Structure 1
Amino acid sequence: MIEVLIMGGIDILLLIAYGISFICALLLIAALFLYFRKRFRARVVSLFMLAAFFFLGAYTVKMAVAFWIRFSDVTAGDSVFAALKSQAWATAQVGTTLGLVILTVLMYTKRQDLFLSFPAVKREGDIEENDQR
């Protein structure tokens, strides 16, 4: 009887933790989206922040899948959903791991300050100095 209560409590605790993690990750992604929108307009983006955004996106997918797995009823006859959950978890884990590897390499090579610079996009009506000859 106590084991059933403990397992139920652990499941509820995990659902709450997954839910809070998922909401916080979504809020961070929204804030980073606004940051990246400004940075892409300026045509200069921090590689470290881009890697962090990639990691956070993969982590958010992972939390959504974890919440889905914990919240759904697992039945033996539903092998399609079980396989889909397993594949989604594996994909999210690989994305999270790649994000962590990129962040670790950037941190330990002391390359946190690398920036990507995008060239300006020419429009048809724009005339450059070299084209005026």
Structure 2
Amino acid sequence: MGGIDILLLIAYGISFICALLLMAALFLYFRKRFRARVVSLFMLAAFFFLGAYTVKMAVAFWIRFSKFTAGDAVLAALKSNAWAAAQVGTTLGLMILTYLMYTRRQDLFMIFPAVKEEVKQDVDA
């Protein structure tokens, strides 16, 4: 393993760990926001982008540092398909974020209606 491989291993590892930490923090944020029934579309798009980026970093790590799949066509195709799906997700996330930024709609919120519980009335009453 050369110097560039070690540098990439460190960079991919740090990127993956940071993305996972951000995903965990955003998950807690969204849990609180969904309970309040108001979610920022910009933050939702950022969460989608970060999720796709996290998958992309995991696939990049897998592609770059796998040794035993050089001759296996099935795993090579799986890597290629996983990379394509992660890239499409990342691109869609970037497109949504770009659209929201350039239309100055980063403050759009999605409001969920309250779930009303029906109160059962006694027939005898």
TM-score (structure 1 length as normaliser): 0.86
* Matched position secondary structure for 1:119: coil
Q: Following the alignment from structure 2 to structure 1, what is the Cα–Cα distance between the partners of residues 100 and 60?
A: 28
Gaps of 5+ in 2: none
Residue 12 of structure 2, aligned match among 15, 18, 32: 18
1:54-133 → structure 2 map (5 Å cutoff): 54-73=48-67, 75-125=69-119
Quote the Cα distance in structure 1 between the aligned partners of 2:67 and 2:109: 46
Measure how far apart 1:76 and its partner are. 4.3
**CA displacement 1:22-59 (0-9 Å, x = unmatched):** 00000000000010001000000000000000000000
* Paired residues of 2:69 and 2:75 also in contact (CA < 8 A): no
What is the rounded CA distance, in whole Å, between the counterparts of 2:31 and 2:22 in structure 1?
14
Asked whether the 8 Å contact 2:37–2:114 carries over to 1, the reply is yes
Query: What TM-score results when the alignment is normalised by the length of structure 2?
Result: 0.91
1:3 is matched with none
Contact 2:53 2:90 in 1 (8 A): yes
Find the residue that maps to 1:116 and give its secondary structure. Answer: strand
Q: What is the RMSD computed on CA atoms of the aligned residues?
A: 1.6
Cα offset for 1:125? 3.4
